[in-house]
Amino acid sequence: MRILTTLAFVAILLCTSAPLAAANPSVLQNYSTKLRHEGHEIWYVTTRHLPQYEDLEQSIDKIAYYKMEGQAWNKKQASEFHSAENLDTMIVVHGSPATVALVSEVCIDVYQHMQIIIPESKKRMRYVIWSWPADRQVTGIVKEFRDQARRSQPQGYYLGHVIDRCRENNNTVVVGYSMGARVASCALHLLAGGKSEFAPEIKPISDNKVSFLIVAGAINRDWLQPGQHFGKALSETNRFLNIYNSTDPLLKRYPKLYPKEKSRPEATGYKGLFSHDKLTSFGIPIEEINVTAAAGKSHDIRYITRDTETLKKIWARLLRPAFEGN
């Protein structure tokens, strides 16, 4: 039986202030938590210091890894991260715009919320915060959103390589929150042989499938369908769950990403998937959960993860099948 590892890529679209230094240990030291079990681990993996559009291939080995040991964050070699086996891993990848401080604070909060639904038997788990260069780099909300949408795809290239290394010996769950849905979807699309105008192709070393969770996804409702923007992503998965909120105040404005004279699509995280029927060719379980009652008029992921009943549904429909047996 394949070793189980869960990579949860949860990205958070939250307003932030001025950018902070990439992978700054002094910032990380301000955020730590008590682990659910002694065998749990928390990591911070960052690409904030890497090129955003050029020389991506030469920068894969420069991804930085930090591990929380006690209340301190210590830098580690990539080999230590990738050599782990039989260790369930949840990676949280933020959306945009987001500073190092915001990412660290929110993702630690999410881990604390999730402890409620992690079974006592799940004594070994790795929770990873994936941090990419999502600081505000242009002025204006719409311009910033468009810039982040473009910037997210090269980040999918970096992420795809990490997924590929992990899934070679481990089962994988990819969770993309908000703009992170673009990062995660692009990563899976590239691993399946898909192309992106902003990222090189990936030559995968593994063909193991992953499970995929999107929460408040900032992608078009039809982009996962065959032939669409990330149309090959679901061919890399064995199950898919979409979480959406039809009162999300930020995703309500998602159509403004597109010029008025063109068709202005809505977001997967706002209205749900465009068509289940057009996804049946992937031959995998596809489900959705409307979290409007729990999240209300908020885009903050913590409004979702604070709700125990919603977490129980996510665990039962996606995470438990991935975790079973370990």
**Could you check whether the bond before residue 119 is cis, i.e. omega within 30 degrees of 0?**
no
Residue 2 has what pLDDT?
Answer: 47
In single-letter form, the type of residue at position 2 comes to R
Angle between helices 180-191 and 141-167 (to 10 degrees): 40
The number of beta carbons lying within 10 Å of the beta carbon of residue 101 is 16
If you search the block for the tokens 């597109």, which residue do you land on?
258
Residue 117 has what pLDDT?
Answer: 92
Q: What is the mean pLDDT of each run of 10 residues along the chain (326 residues)?
A: 43 35 71 93 93 93 95 94 86 80 91 92 88 75 73 92 89 87 94 94 94 93 97 96 96 86 90 97 97 94 94 94 73
In the chain, pLDDT over 90 holds for what percent of residues? 62
- DSSP of 121-175, one letter per residue? T---EEEEEEE---S--SSSHHHHHHHHHHHHHHHHHHHHHHHHHHHTTEEEEEE
**257, 260, 310, 279: which is closest to 113 by C-alpha?**
310
Residue 139 has what pLDDT?
Answer: 67
Residue 4 has what pLDDT?
Answer: 44
Backbone φ and ψ for 288, nearest 5 degrees, come out as -140, 150
Assigned fold of 3-323: Rossmann fold (3.40.50)
Give CA–CA dist 305/110, Å, rounded.
6
Residue 124 has what pLDDT?
Answer: 87
Residue 24 has what pLDDT?
Answer: 61
Give CA–CA dist 237/240, Å, rounded.
7
Sorted by sequence, the CB contacts under 8 Å of residue 15 that are 6+ apart come out as: 97
Report if pTM > 0.95.
no
- DSSP of 49-116, one letter per residue? TS-SSSS-GGGGGG-EEEEEETTEEEEE-HHHHHT--S-EEEEEE--SS--HHHHHHHHHHHHHHHTT
The number of beta carbons lying within 10 Å of the beta carbon of residue 59 is 17
Residue 51 has what pLDDT?
Answer: 93
* Residue-range domain boundaries for the chain: 3-323
| Integer CA distances (angstroms), 240 to 64, 212, 265, 319, 324, in order | 29, 5, 21, 11, 17
Residue 8 has what pLDDT?
Answer: 43
Residue 19 has what pLDDT?
Answer: 37
